Amino acid sequence: MDAPAKPRLLPLGDAALLLEFGTHIDVAVNARVLAAWRAIEASHLRGVHDVVPAYASLAVHFDPLQWDADSLGERLLEVSSAVIPETPAPRCVDVPVCYDPEFAPDIARVSAHTGLSADEVVRRHAGATYRVFFLGFTPGFPYLGGLDPALATPRRDSPRSRVPAGSVAIGGVQTGIYPMATPGGWQIIGRTPLRLFDAAREPCCSVAPGDSLRFFAVSALEFRRLEAAD
């Protein structure tokens, strides 16, 4: 089997570089991204102060007073090209979700779009195992792969100005969780009582890139009990 091609190196402003491993959402490509992310973090390169993985790319932020882009780029390609993506058993995080209408203002919209009953939407959404591709948008927001294609629903035409923290939503072929109250345009189909991000906690995020995640349905009563306990 041929070795994977080297990542493409691109400038990202004057203090960051982008390593591009592919151009589409793919588990194998994302595995290379995460392997390179871990390898670069483990290298403790001076002047590199943040390494941010995404679906198919890796942003490396650096101090331009300590590195010129060409020299750092060569070093990053050397480190990232030497790693072989490992396939350890991922950590699995179970996330309780209440899919009751009071927490799921868009479940009827998803049901109408997909032609599935609301109960079937819940069954399929809670019946899958998801991969955390990366965290983005807001601290701790997991972009999850593995949504049943039958549940794919376009984003709202008009985003909400405030989506409650813990909202579980569908946006196109993706699903994710809003860790804090923010604007958002995804279709909200439930809410979790878990706090996914807490700056005072170590680690501050409940999930990490490469984790496996599963949802399970809980009643409104159980939601409130878990919310009070978190």
- pLDDT, tens only, 25-36: 889 999 999 999
The neighbour count for residue 77, using CB atoms within 10 Å, is: 17
* pTM reported for the whole predicted model: 0.86
Average confidence (pLDDT) over 52-71:
95
pLDDT of residue 89: 66
pLDDT of residue 81: 79
pLDDT of 2 higher than 60:
no
**Distance between CA 21 and CA 186 in Å, rounded?**
27
Burial 175-212 (b: 16+ CB within 10 A, else e): bbbbbbebebebbbbbbbbbebbbeeeeeebbbbbbbb
- Fold held by 92-229: Cyclophilin (2.40.100)
Which ranges in the chain are annotated with CATH 3.30.1360.40?
8-82
pLDDT of residue 6: 84
pLDDT of residue 82: 73
pLDDT of residue 3: 57
pLDDT in tens, 96-150: 999 999 999 999 999 999 999 999 999 999 999 999 999 999 999 999 999 999 9
- Fold held by 8-82: Gyrase A; domain 2 (3.30.1360)
pLDDT in tens, 138-183: 999 999 999 999 999 999 999 999 999 999 999 999 999 999 999 9
Which ranges in the chain are annotated with CATH 2.40.100.10?
92-229
pLDDT of residue 1: 43
Q: Are 145 and 212 in contact (CB under 8 A)?
A: no
Percent of the chain with pLDDT over 90: 84
**Distance between CA 11 and CA 136 in Å, rounded?**
20
